[in-house]
């Protein structure tokens, strides 16, 4: 099993459960403890340091249609992207009132992961045997422990799911407001239905004590501590560089080649299968390094083609996210960064009692569609009170990320050389579909958020925060200037 992330860990655990002997190999290191994370978010160390500590891969995409490059961030270590996902909430060290470019710095705060289950239609529409919703849903249930127990969900799985211990201060107001513009508010949006026009409070993945949970801790640690541990070997700090083939029967894989610590070379051979679970970017890159892919791409990269599979790396689906942000007039409790240095808040968090550090990055999710009669959503909006993107002297900021759910544009991932340590080339492809479907859907989502802002008659609190100071501005970290053009042409 190559890659100990969100896919690799549960599959390795499942194979051990069936009596197979598994070697789980991971490029990165062991997960950070909660204390490590707190050290990293303390004022002494910032986001850049955290990335340099190698818990994440970062690299830039190719230019998109308008010449923007996006930074890609994905996890590296035992647990993969579940080490960093869910809430990477960047916050400001200096109070806004004392803003100046020289005193300005930011830090990263890790939140629990959002738990959602895809719409049943997403699985059914794939049309792949055993991946329809009826086949996969039992595995979701098996994995879950809902707290409190909830109809239709599991009660004894390794992944504990519950509502945030401490919520965002504006959450109920905004939920009420969505209700006011005809959203159905559902209690449980994680049961396989994501119908347009529904909204729900987000649930989170967490451990018993209220803190984060990564895939390695959830699925692999219990095995290492059990009688089955002899069936599982975990090797970290080791990169798979090539899949090995049987020279006599060219398309039969017999093992893989690895480098530990970037230099110690070794090989492993299998009785059954090599399973690659190296993530969206790592998996196609490893296949290509092994000569599996589009022959022309491989030759361009100086890799000898072995198996012609032109689709390898070709179906990248990037979900554009456009953040519509609003400035408010007062500092919200959620945004009071003086709490960062508050030892009581830290102790409260570490003891599993919630508090300031447990406030989730997104409190709500709502689904929408450009065609109101559609049964499958085109986009979703979230709500978040503290945003990382505001290098502006405003007292508070909160926003509604607009995120496409089913973009039709496609990008690609390609190895650029035979060197396994070179980053792959990534083209996001966002908004490249010739029919303009993705632009239309993004514009519809922005239009919906504009209703949230403009309709203030039912909610004074809302009015207060959203409308007294109408210096509303747009920011997009995925769509960039393209979004501004969309808004300009189609909405304003
Ligand atoms: C910032 C962020 C926030 C997110 N938030 C959420 C959320 O709230 N909820 C949610 O459900 N999903 C979230 N996701 C998505 C989710 O984390 C991913 O979909 C999921 O982790 C993918 O699992 P994976 O196993 O395919 O890849 P990963 O979890 O990325 O694991 C791949 C592993 O393979 C390793 N690897 C790569 N190449 C090699 C190699 N050659 N040899 C050995 N090992 C290798 C990597 O180091 C990594 O550990 C988020 C993602 C990001 C980036």
| Antiparallel, parallel or unpaired: β 379-383 and 203-205 | unpaired
Element (H, E) at 439: helix 437-454
**Residue 287's pLDDT is what?**
98
Task: Tell me the pLDDT tens digit for each residue of 93-119.
Answer: 333 333 333 333 344 455 677 888 889
Could you identify the atom of ligand 1 that is nearest to the CA of residue 86? 8
Mean pLDDT of 463-478: 32
For position 395, what pLDDT does the model report?
54
Q: Is 254 in the pocket of ligand 1 (CB under 6 A)?
A: no
Cis peptide before 148 (omega within 30 of 0): yes
Mutating to test ligand 1, I would choose from 1, 5, 83, 113 the residue with most ligand atoms within 8 A of its C-beta, which is 5
Interatomic CA distance for residues 205 and 161, integer angstroms: 5
Residue 422: phi, psi to the nearest 5?
Answer: -80, 135
Which ranges of 325-397 does DSSP label H, i.e. alpha helix? 343-350
- By alpha-carbon position, which residue is closest to atom 39 of ligand 1? 278
Q: How many CB atoms lie within 10 A of CB 391?
A: 10
Give the range among 276-280, 291-295, 447-451 with minimum mean pLDDT.
447-451
Q: Enter the pTM of the model.
A: 0.87
362 in contact with ligand 1, CB cutoff 6 A: no
User: What pLDDT score does 54 carry?
Assistant: 65
pLDDT band at 326 (very low <50, low <70, confident <90, very high): low
Report CA Rg, the chain.
Answer: 23
pLDDT of residue 214: 86
Which atom of ligand 1 lies at the shortest distance from residue 283's CA? 38
pLDDT in tens, 40-88: 443 333 344 445 556 778 788 898 776 777 777 788 889 998 887 765 5
- What angle (nearest 5°) sits at the alpha carbon of residue 351, between those of residues 347 and 352? 120
Distance 284 CA to ligand 1 centre (A): 14
Question: What pLDDT, on the 0 to 100 scale, is given for residue 222?
Answer: 94
CB-CB contact of 298 with 285 (8 Å): no
Position 471 scores a pLDDT of: 29
Is 208 a residue whose pLDDT tops 50?
A: yes
Residue 266 bridge partners (DSSP): 258
pLDDT of 411-428, one tens digit each? 999 999 999 999 999 998
Distance 27 CA to ligand 1 centre (A): 12
Say if ligand 1 is within 6 A of residue 283 CB: no
Q: Is 4 in the pocket of ligand 1 (CB under 6 A)?
A: yes
**CATH for 8-17+28-215+316-491, among 3.40.50.800, 3.30.560.10, 3.30.465.10, 3.40.50.720?**
3.30.560.10
Q: What is the mean pLDDT of residues 164-170?
A: 80
In angstroms, how far is CA 337 from the centroid of its own chain? Answer: 24
């Amino acid at each position: 099993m190559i890659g100990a992330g969100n896919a690799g860990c549960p599959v390795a655990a499942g194979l051990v459960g069936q009596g197979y002997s598994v070697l789980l190999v991971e490029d990165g290191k062991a997960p950070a403890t909660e204390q490590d994370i707190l050290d990293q978010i303390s004022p002494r160390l910032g986001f850049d340091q955290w990335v340099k500590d190698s818990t994440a891969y970062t690299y830039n995409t190719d230019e998109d249609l308008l010449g923007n490059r996006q930074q890609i961030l994905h996890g590296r270590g035992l647990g993969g992207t579940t080490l960093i996902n869910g809430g990477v909430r960047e916050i400001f060290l200096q109070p806004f009132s004392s803003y100046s470019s020289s005193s300005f710095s930011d830090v990263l705060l890790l939140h629990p992961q959002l738990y959602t289950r895809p719409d049943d239609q997403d699985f059914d529409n794939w049309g792949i045997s055993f991946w329809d919703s009826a086949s996969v849903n039992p595995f979701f249930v098996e994995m879950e422990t809902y707290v409190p127990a909830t109809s239709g969900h599991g009660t004894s799985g390794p992944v504990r799911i519950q509502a945030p211990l401490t919520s965002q201060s504006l959450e109920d107001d905004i939920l009420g407001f969505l209700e006011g513009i005809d959203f159905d508010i559902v209690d449980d949006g994680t049961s396989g239905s994501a119908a347009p026009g529904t909204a729900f409070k987000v649930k989170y993945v967490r451990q018993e004590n209220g803190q984060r949970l990564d895939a390695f801790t959830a699925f692999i640690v219990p095995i290492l501590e059990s009688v089955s541990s002899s069936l599982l070997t975990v090797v970290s700090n080791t990169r798979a560089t090539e899949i090995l083939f049987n020279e006599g029967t060219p398309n039969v894989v017999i093992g893989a080649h690895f480098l530990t610590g970037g230099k110690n070379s070794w090989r492993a051979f299998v009785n059954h299968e090599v399973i690659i679970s190296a993530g969206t970017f790592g998996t196609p890159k490893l296949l290509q390094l092994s000569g599996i892919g589009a022959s022309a791409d491989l030759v361009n990269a100086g890799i000898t083609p072995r198996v012609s599979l032109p689709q390898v790396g070709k179906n990248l689906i990037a979900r554009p996210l456009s953040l519509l942000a609003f400035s408010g007039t007062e500092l919200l409790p959620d945004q009071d960064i003086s709490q960062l240095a508050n030892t009581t808040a830290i102790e409260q968090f570490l003891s599993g009692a919630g508090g300031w550090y447990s406030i989730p990055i997104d409190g709500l999710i709502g689904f929408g569609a450009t065609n109101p009669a559609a049964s499958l959503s085109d986009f979703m909006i979230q709500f978040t009170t503290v945003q990382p993107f505001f290098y502006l002297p405003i007292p508070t900021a909160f926003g509604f990320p607009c995120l496409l759910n089913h973009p039709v544009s496609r990008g690609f991932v390609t190895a650029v050389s035979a060197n396994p340590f070179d980053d792959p080339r990534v083209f996001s492809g966002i908004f490249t579909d010739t029919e303009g479907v993705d632009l239309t859907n993004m514009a519809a989502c922005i239009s919906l958020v504009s209703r949230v802002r403009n309709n203030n008659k039912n909610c004074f609190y809302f009015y207060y925060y959203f409308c007294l100071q109408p210096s509303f501005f747009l920011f997009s970290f995925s769509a960039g200037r393209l979004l501004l053009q969309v808004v300009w042409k189609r909405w304003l």
